[in-house]
Homo-oligomer: A and B are copies of this chain.
Amino acid sequence: MRPDALTPELADVVARTRDFVREVVVPAEPPTGEALAPQELSRLRSLAKEAGVWAPVSSADFGGLGLPLPAWSPVLQEAGYSPIGPAVLHCMAPDEGNMHMLSLIATPEQQQEFLAPLVRGEARSCFAMTEPHPGAGSDPSALSTTAYLDGDTWVIEGRKRFISGANDADIAIVMARTPAVRLPDGQERPEGATMFLTRTDAPGWRVGRQIRTTERAIAGGHPYVHLEGLRVPTSAVLGEVGEGFRYAQVRLGPARLTHCMRWLGLARRALDVALDRLEHRELFGQPMRDLGLAQGLVADSVIDLETSDAIIDRTARLLESDPRAGSRMSSVAKVHCAEAIQRVIDRSIQLCGGDGVSEELPLVQYLLEVRPFRIYDGSSETHRWAIARRASSDRRREVEAGTPRLDLVDGTDDGAEHGGGRA
A residues engaging B (CB < 8 A)?
Answer: 2, 4-5, 22, 26, 31-33, 130, 132-134, 137-139, 161-162, 208-209, 211-214, 222, 224, 269, 271-284, 289, 291-303, 306-307, 309-311, 313-314, 317-318, 321-322, 325, 329, 332, 335-336, 349-350, 352-361, 364, 367-368, 371-372, 374-376, 379-381, 383-385, 387-389, 391-392, 395-396, 399, 403-407, 409-413, 417-418, 421-423
Contact = CB atoms under 8 A, between A and B. Distances in A.
Contacts of A367: 371
A302 to B, nearest CB: 5
30 contacts: A5-B317, A130-B354, A209-B410, A213-B358, A224-B417, A269-B406, A271-B391, A272-B395, A276-B406, A279-B395, A280-B405, A280-B413, A289-B392, A291-B292, A292-B295, A292-B296, A292-B385, A295-B389, A297-B381, A303-B335, A306-B329, A307-B332, A309-B314, A310-B313, A349-B371, A350-B379, A350-B380, A354-B372, A354-B375, A364-B368
Contact of A295 (B222, B275, B298, B388): B388
Contacts of A31: 421-423
A281 B307 CA distance: 33
A302 B336 contact: no
A360 to B, nearest CB: 4
Among A281, A352, A355, A359, find the residue whose CB has the most chain B CB atoms closer than 10 A: A355
Contact of A411 (B32, B209, B281, B380): B209
Among A283, A303, A329, A336, find the residue whose CB has the most chain B CB atoms closer than 10 A: A303
B293 A295 contact: yes
A211 to B, nearest CB: 5
A256 to B, nearest CB: 14
Contacts of A332: 302-303, 306-307
A278 to B, nearest CB: 7
Contacts of A281: 133-134
A314 B388 contact: no
A147 B5 CA distance: 43
Given A295-B385, A298-B387, A332-B303, A2 B314 contact: yes
B279 A409 contact: no
